[in-house]
Structure 1
Amino acid sequence: MKIYDLIGIGFGPSNIALAIALEEKKQNGYPVESFYIEKQPSFAWHANMMLDNVHMQVSFLKDLATMRNPSSRYTFINYLHEKNRLQDFINLKTFFPSRHEFNDYLAWAAAHFDHCCTYGEEVIEVLPEKLGDDISLLRVRSRDSA
């Protein structure tokens, strides 16, 4: 049995942003060991909403990291840079990326945390473990979601 400081149920944008924030805190001497359990077999964000020519309705600046840490390596701008797409995106003259590109950004960020996320697992219960009258930890049980 492995004990983590935090277990996230699901690995969508909120928990990816949390994983990023915790990683950046860890680099600054605040170690939190986290793990994430995702029911889907692989990363997917609104897979049924990936229509052609559909764009986000919020600015790319509201990505996984910019508002909290503009110098984060996990910003949408850095994603574009690493994918050699920054110049092309700038030339679009828009603050609203396509849903396909934003999905690719989210998958890119999620892939950085493959070491602490399991896919294809369904959480079936969360049970308190007591030490006397106090809850000392929570036991999370999951199973293969297939």
Structure 2
Amino acid sequence: ASPIVHDLIGVGFGPSNLALAIALQERGRIQGELDVLFLDKQATYSWHGNTLSTQSELQISFLKDLVTLRNPTSPYSFVNYLKHHGRLVDFINLGTFYPCRMEYNDYLRWVAGQFTAQSRYGEEVQFIEPVLHSQQVEALRVISRGSDGQQ
């Protein structure tokens, strides 16, 4: 079987690659979509895993979410997440720019859930190797192992 060729493969699907997925989707509406795939070794989306405590606050403003500084009108903003979950008024009434980490984790999970077609969980990248053609790197071969052991 011949390998599947993607325009971009992201290793991990944390906040940086989530922001990249959004930017590529928004770019794709104008310039044409790319075939992207994000691989994450975790079984499901989780930011900082079990290290989140119930009330600890984020130490950066919610305005530094995945999109607002780049595109304040993006539907992937933290404010839009709050609106969709009926929490906007409650959050505004807190009078803080710093959401709790649990809620921010839920925001990130909400965004990641909108990219299920472009992401695979339980998939650990084993190797990344150059594919050479005339001594030039033509592509990268990404070899990963799924939770089923399949490479």
Question: 1:83: how far off?
Answer: 0.9
The separation in 2 between residues aligned to 1:102 and 1:53, in whole angstroms, is 11
Correspondence 1:125 to 2:133: no
- Secondary structure, in 3 states, of the residue corresponding to 1:126? strand
How many equivalent residue pairs?
146
% same residue = 48
Tell me the residue number matched to 2:64.
Answer: 62
Give the TM-score normalised by the residue count of structure 1. 0.96
The separation in 2 between residues aligned to 1:123 and 1:47, in whole angstroms, is 19
Which stretches in structure 2 are left out of the alignment for 5+ residues? none
- Secondary structure, in 3 states, of the residue corresponding to 1:41? coil
RMSD value over aligned CA atoms?
Answer: 1.1
Tell me the residue number matched to 1:27.
Answer: 29
Tell me the residue number matched to 1:90.
Answer: 92
Match for 2:76 among 74, 77, 95? 74
Which stretches in structure 1 are left out of the alignment for 5+ residues? none
Which residues in structure 2 correspond to 1:39-58 (within 5 Å)?
39-58=41-60
- Normalized per residue, the structure richer in helix is 2
Question: 1:145: how far off?
Answer: 4.4
Greater displacement, 43-52 / 61-70: 43-52
Equivalent residue letter for 1:80: L
- Secondary structure, in 3 states, of the residue corresponding to 1:113? helix
Greater displacement, 131-140 / 99-108: 131-140
Greater displacement, 20-29 / 43-52: 43-52
- Secondary structure, in 3 states, of the residue corresponding to 1:112? helix
CA displacement 1:56-115 (0-9 Å, x = unmatched):
111000000000000000000011111111111111111000111000000000111110
Give the TM-score normalised by the residue count of structure 2. 0.93
